[in-house]
Chains A and B, each alone.
Chain A
Amino acid sequence: MASSDADYAVWLRGIEKQFPGVIACAGADLRVRPGTIHALLGENGAGKTTMANVLAGVYRPDGGEVWVNGRRRFFQSPADAIQAGVGMVYQEFRLVPTLTVAENIVLGAAPRLLRGAEIEQRVAELSAAYGLAADPARPVWQLSMGERQRVEILKALWRNASVLVMDEPTAVLTPGEAAELGVTLRAMAAEGRSVVYISHKLDQVVAFCDEATVLRRGKTVATVDDLDDVDLQELAEMMVGSSQGVAMDRPPPVDTGSEVLRLQGIHAVGDRGLPALTGIDLTVRSGEIVGIVGVSGNGQKELAEVISGLREPTEGQVSVKGQDVTAASSSDRYRLGLAYVPEDRLGMGLAPKMSVVDNSVVRSYRSQRRGLFLSTAKCTEFCRGLVERFGVRVGRLNDPIAGLSGGNLQRLLLGRELAGRPSVLVAAQPSRGLDVQGVAAIHGHLIDQRADGVGVLLISEDLDELLALSDRLLVMFEGRIMGEYGPDVTPRTILGAAMAGNPPR
């Protein structure tokens, strides 16, 4: 235990930070002892990432103090934080895809003259010293997410950072890679470095970390000096505030009806020209939720795109309600009863600078006409109906949607897709990044659709969500379906092994 303030590796004191319309931090504290792995816990929007960005010099706090290694710091830029020994691994990696691994690692702390071979040699030595395998000469765009993360950690080690901040490090890793990361972080802590580990995956936090700070609504609500002394349930309750809404009741089974979606032998190529889907067969019946389990990047995105008509399969057949739609456009598929909630809400699902009204009619504008032209009155009425039915909290209907929160955007998007009374709904990561209320609302709608006889294909990275909602689970790994599992009868370890490509025989 630190005897005085000067002994802390990191001390963020009463941090306040406001963004337009959002208070991200309202006097949050974080104290990290040297040589420990410190978990920074909290729900989405609790202020974890903002705290990390303050520590890394990206955001300047509106109030509060930043202390690193016993000295008060006034970071004007990330360069100052690096100087003070803070290294950050961002959730969205800060790597230049076209540069090599070595170039990315030395960026910002390179010798004046770059000799490719010499730098690659030194990077290779560093990666060997920490057991972080990465080929220094390869361009980063060719690397997997796990490899990219190793490059990010090497980047911090290259500058000899004494404090390493990791924002949601395991979101892109397979369970095996996540365990490896734990070993690396332990080794770094053993050298006297400190790690701030931001996560909401509690089981990992308990496995890797020594101490923890829990944030809620921008404030520190609890600190735990020894994680061995608390149990998961207790931590979860600290994060959420009350234990309501964490676990949800499984909807009672409904009689499944006819087949509404069928994929046969689907092969497809990903953006990089490599096979992304290799022989997918699946069916969804009316009145069931089929969950797709898997670490992101194993073909889920391509699967959703093939079904919705945005990506052409190289082989195989897609049918909706028994009708072959492999060659049909996405709007034809929509008219046949296929609704799609894409993963990238603001990029693909909605147009940020268009108004609430315009966004709500882009699917169904053909029925909002008067003669040749769109009828403003009909559009507004349609939009108002959606907003009320799905509980979207909006300001004015003619304002751009960019100002809406994630939960409201998702309600609007889901509402628009469901307005056409579909028979199949493909929902990709529908609850990602939403707060507890938002998640509950989206889950409620999915369950209602199921009860109404819609077949739902739910693609998610959140195992709890899938276990709670799905009638059947399909595990995807490297573009294939590894097996089908019943959510009630399958232990998580078996699902985990299948997600990593080793389904039990």
Chain B
Amino acid sequence: MSEEALIGLFVATVQFGTLVFLAALGELIAERAGVLNLGVEGMMAMGAVSGFMVGLETGSPWAAFFAAAAVGALVGGFHALVSVVLGADQVVSGLALTIGGLGLAAYVGRNVVGERPETLFTDLGIAGLADIPWIGEIFFDQPPVVYLAVLLGFSVWFVLARTRLGLAIRAAGESAPTADTAGHSVMALRSGAVMVGGAFAGAAGSFLSLYMAPGWVEGMVAGRGWIAVALVIFGAWRPGRLALGALLFGFTLALQPRLQSFDIELLGVEVNRISPALLGILPFVLTVVVLVIISWRYRHRPSVAPAALGLPYRREER
């Protein structure tokens, strides 16, 4: 395999990693507040199509990116209304969001299939660093969204771990009555978290349609929303581990289309004869393995998963 192909693989790893990291970071916020959102796939599709259309219209990738985030927040708001305010089953509402979001995205985008916007995100060659061999190309010559994602990762960690708001969000996700009786509005915290999470997923969708695979076709999210949901578990609900997991999952995603071009042998198997589909399930297999390890290691202490995850809260219910 050529050096160029190998660098290409790592460049794509970072980009796929960013894609699932952004979406998973949003899901992490919602889950730390106690709301499971299985609608990530649908929210990403809505973000992808709406971002792409705004990009076509305005020619500004940033306007498109933020429009996609706004649409994601709106879709998240729907999930918040149904599952947080009205107390419906979060799993049902989230699945409805995925199915409905995918369908609605296909409908909204039916007339822009095959079009191409004039301007897309361009790679930022960071002065001085981008010229370093290998490392420069892989880490310092990427589109701005990659760096934004890193910044957001740090911000989310900081807010959750080091601020009053973060403490309240964590309390709402661990024990809603505790947060409530301490004087926090569980409804506001959870709704806010779901909407911010939706914004992240929508923005991630637009990164797909405005940079990674410019254009819009139905089904282009292709299960990456589910990978993001799995990634939150893989990352044990911690932003730092989420980032590491994102690079690992990003690697499997980047490897998938390239697998056939590798002529190496691993453990006596010719790599290019492995089915890409098999590679596609790797993130989920890894997630299950991590889940088993976590539950084993935490068998004598409170689980790492937010204890109130998936449980609706109504104050006067007894």
A residues neighboring B (CB under 8 Å):
19, 56, 58-60, 77-79, 82-83, 88, 90, 94-99, 103, 106-115, 141, 155, 271-273
| Bound Cα distance A59, B317 (Å) | 10
Interface positions, chain B 293-313, Cβ under 8 Å from A, are 299-302, 307
Contact count A vs B, C-beta below 8 Å:
86
A94 touches B178 (CB 8 A): yes
| Bound Cα distance A69, B166 (Å) | 33
Contact residues of A: prevailing secondary structure: loop
Q: Other CB < 8 Å A-B pairs besides A107-B167, A107-B179, 16 of them?
A: A19-B318, A58-B180, A59-B316, A78-B182, A79-B184, A94-B177, A95-B175, A98-B307, A99-B170, A107-B182, A108-B179, A108-B183, A109-B182, A112-B164, A114-B164, A114-B167
Q: Cβ of B163: which chain A residues have Cβ within 8 Å of it?
A: 112-114
| Bound Cα distance A271, B170 (Å) | 24
| Bound Cα distance A261, B175 (Å) | 41
Fill in one digit per residue for B153-173: 1 if any A CB lies within 8 Å of its CB, else 0.
000000001111011101100
**A22–chain B nearest beta-carbon distance, Å:** 9
B178 touches A96 (CB 8 A): yes
B300 touches A273 (CB 8 A): yes
Contact check: which of B171, B183, B307 meets A109 at CB < 8 Å? B183
**A153–chain B nearest beta-carbon distance, Å:** 14
B181 at interface by CB-CB < 8 Å = yes
Residue among B168, B174, B318 with the highest chain A CB neighbour number at 10 A: B318
Closest 5 CB pairs of A and B: A108-B182, A273-B300, A79-B183, A108-B183, A94-B178
Chain A residue nearest to B175 in the complex (CB): A96
Q: Cβ of A58: which chain B residues have Cβ within 8 Å of it?
A: 180-181, 315-316
Q: Cβ of B181: which chain A residues have Cβ within 8 Å of it?
A: 56, 58, 78, 88, 90, 94
Q: Cβ of A273: which chain B residues have Cβ within 8 Å of it?
A: 299-300
| Bound Cα distance A103, B167 (Å) | 8
Chain B residue nearest to A269 in the complex (CB): B300
**B232–chain A nearest beta-carbon distance, Å:** 17
| Bound Cα distance A269, B177 (Å) | 30
**How many residues on B have C-beta within 8 angstroms of the other chain's C-beta atoms?**
28
B316 touches A96 (CB 8 A): no
| Interchain Cβ contacts under 8 Å between A and B, 22 examples | A56-B181, A58-B315, A78-B183, A79-B184, A79-B185, A82-B182, A94-B178, A96-B174, A96-B178, A97-B175, A98-B302, A99-B170, A99-B174, A107-B168, A107-B171, A110-B164, A111-B164, A113-B162, A114-B162, A271-B300, A272-B301, A273-B300
Q: Cβ of B180: which chain A residues have Cβ within 8 Å of it?
A: 58, 77-78
Chain B residue nearest to A116 in the complex (CB): B162
| Bound Cα distance A272, B300 (Å) | 4
**A64–chain B nearest beta-carbon distance, Å:** 16
| Bound Cα distance A77, B180 (Å) | 8
**B62–chain A nearest beta-carbon distance, Å:** 30
Chain B residue nearest to A87 in the complex (CB): B181
Q: Cβ of A113: which chain B residues have Cβ within 8 Å of it?
A: 162-164
Q: Cβ of B316: which chain A residues have Cβ within 8 Å of it?
A: 58-60
Q: Cβ of B175: which chain A residues have Cβ within 8 Å of it?
A: 94-97
| Bound Cα distance A78, B161 (Å) | 25
Q: Cβ of B302: which chain A residues have Cβ within 8 Å of it?
A: 97-98, 141
